[in-house]
């Protein structure tokens, strides 16, 4: 899919550009993009090092476990069809906590483990359960509290206030998550009503 | 006021992490240094996709085609008070992570990161994840074929996030 997008973006642009007399601009753009990317990445390495260093301390000091235990009451409510004490609840909490702290690399293994554990209590192995749907909707809506990648990017591209977007991002991502959860609940209900009508209607 | 809180967040976060680490008797210097080893590898793994996309976007932008396409949507965007530069990002964000990073970088380079457009695009970027990729990865890993209402709900969430990001940015940064 990305292959098609990439191909068409470049091919159509080049044809359009040549026809509109922008051939030179295209050449300059290609070179400028290449050079800029390298400069960006160099700054990235530095800012990322700071964040990864801090996150390693967070990991080592067990802060993730503490935070995910604190989350348990909420998790219980969002995933009612998972039995109490089932390991999936723990993995889900860990995935959420890691995501909130911006530890995408730590979050993914927890998330995959959560899916596996949810699959264990799944009756129809080829169909997603309500908990799986909810888990995915929350994940894709992003629950990262501090957008570290964006901040690093802003810093490397000359921003004098890279962290000024923390609050706005936090608000926006909260909205997306809340709407996502609501949408999941509504769609789940509509589907159940449709199923009932099919069976009894 | 908002700026002040934002300014405080990072120093406070660092302090909080250090204090907690001390309480748990973690060797913070070594642990921190250990963590930084990842940064080179992370950037290295991001580099190929990033530069591949950015070169395509550079061509897309400099050929004039991007401006042309945006101009088609211009009246609609103007009526909704949406800056046209963020349209490519809104479309790309649920589709590709590296693509949207590339578009965001492009937007920040061409409009200063601290401009309204820059901050709006930055806010939009953090408001949601790469929907298609995450769903495919997680469901694929356990062999689930029917996603039911997952995609619909996720895309609704993405849309809500984008709209919220635009509105919030206007209120906070305009």
Does A76 or A104 have the greater pLDDT score? A76
Asked whether the predicted pLDDT for residue A201 surpasses 80, the reply is no
Asked whether the predicted pLDDT for residue A88 surpasses 80, the reply is yes
CB B121 within 8 A of CB B87: no
Chain A residue whose CA is closest to B24 = A61
Residues of B within 8 A of A121 (CB-CB) are none
* Per-residue confidence (pLDDT) for residue B96, from 0 to 100: 77
Query: DSSP for chain A?
Result: -HHHHHHHHHHHHHHHHHHTT-HHHHHHHHHHHHHHHHHHHHHHHHHHHHHHHHHHHHHHTTHHHHHHHHTHHHHHHH-TTSPTT-HHHHHHHHHHHHHHTT-HHHHHHHHHHHHHHHHHT-SSTTB--HHHHHHHHHHHT---SS-HHHHHHHHHTT-S-GGGGHHHHHHHHHHHHHHHHHHHHHHHHHHHHHHHHHHH-
Tell me the pLDDT tens digit for each residue of A119-168. 999 988 889 899 999 999 999 998 988 888 888 888 888 888 888 898 99
Asked if A36 reaches chain B (Cβ–Cβ under 8 Å), the answer is: yes
Whether the pTM exceeds 0.80: the reply is no
Asked whether the predicted pLDDT for residue B3 surpasses 70, the reply is no
Interface test with A, best of B16, B22, B122 (most A CBs within 10 A): B122
CB A180 within 8 A of CB A141: yes
Beta bridge partners of B146: A127
Q: What average pLDDT score do residues B39-62 get?
A: 81
Asked if A159 reaches chain B (Cβ–Cβ under 8 Å), the answer is: yes
Nearest to B157 among A9, A16, A137 (CB): A137
Nearest to A61 among B20, B36, B53 (CB): B20
Asked whether the predicted pLDDT for residue A105 surpasses 80, the reply is no
* Per-residue confidence (pLDDT) for residue A2, from 0 to 100: 66
- B residues 101-140 closer than 8 Å to A (CB): 101, 104-105, 108-109, 112-114, 118-119, 122-131, 134-135, 138-139
Task: Give, in degrees to the nearest 5, the angle at Cα A175 between A180 and B147.
Answer: 15
- A residues 43-102 closer than 8 Å to B (CB): 44-46, 48-50, 52-58, 60-63
ipTM of the complex: 0.78
* Per-residue confidence (pLDDT) for residue B1, from 0 to 100: 60
CA distance A73 to chain B (A): 23
What residues have CB less than 8 Å from A178, skipping those under 6 apart? none
Residues of A within 8 A of B112 (CB-CB) are 158-159
User: B170, B155, B171: which is closest to B83 by C-alpha?
Assistant: B170
């Amino acid at each position: 899919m990305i292959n098609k997008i990439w191909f068409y973006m470049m091919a159509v642009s080049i044809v359009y550009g040549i026809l509109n007399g922008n051939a030179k601009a295209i050449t300059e753009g290609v070179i400028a993009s290449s050079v800029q990317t390298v400069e960006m990445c160099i700054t990235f390495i530095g800012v990322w090092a700071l964040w990864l260093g801090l996150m390693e301390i967070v990991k080592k000091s067990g802060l993730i476990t503490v935070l995910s235990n604190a989350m348990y009451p909420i998790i219980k409510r969002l995933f009612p069809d998972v039995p109490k004490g089932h390991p999936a609840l723990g993995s889900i909490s860990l995935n959420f906590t890691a995501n909130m702290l911006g530890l995408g690399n730590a979050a993914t293994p927890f998330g995959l483990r959560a899916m596996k554990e949810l699959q264990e209590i799944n009756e129809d192995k080829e169909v997603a359960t309500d908990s799986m749907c909810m888990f995915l909707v929350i994940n894709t809506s992003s629950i990262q509290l501090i957008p570290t990648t964006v901040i690093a990017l802003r810093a490397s591209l000359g921003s004098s206030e890279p962290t000024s977007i923390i609050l706005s991002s936090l608000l926006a991502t909260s909205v997306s998550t809340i709407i996502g959860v609501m949408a999941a609940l509504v769609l789940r209900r509509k589907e159940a009503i449709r199923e009932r009508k099919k069976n009894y209607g | 006021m908002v700026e002040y809180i934002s300014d405080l967040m990072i120093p406070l976060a660092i302090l909080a992490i250090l204090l907690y680490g001390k309480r748990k008797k973690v060797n913070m210097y070594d642990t921190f240094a250990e963590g930084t080893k990842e940064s080179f590898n992370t950037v290295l793994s991001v580099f190929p996709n990033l530069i591949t996309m950015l070169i395509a976007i550079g061509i897309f932008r400099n050929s004039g085609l991007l401006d042309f396409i945006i101009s088609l949507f211009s009246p609609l965007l103007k009526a909704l008070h949406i800056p046209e530069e963020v349209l490519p990002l809104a479309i790309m964000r649920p589709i590709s992570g590296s693509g949207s990073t590339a578009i965001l970088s492009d937007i920040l380079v061409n409009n200063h990161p601290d401009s309204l457009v820059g901050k709006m695009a930055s806010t939009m970027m953090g408001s949601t994840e790469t929907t298609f990729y995450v769903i495919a990865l997680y469901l694929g890993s356990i062999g689930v074929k029917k996603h039911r209402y997952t995609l619909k709900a996720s895309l609704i969430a993405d849309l809500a996030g984008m709209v919220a990001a635009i509105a919030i940015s206007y209120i906070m940064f305009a």
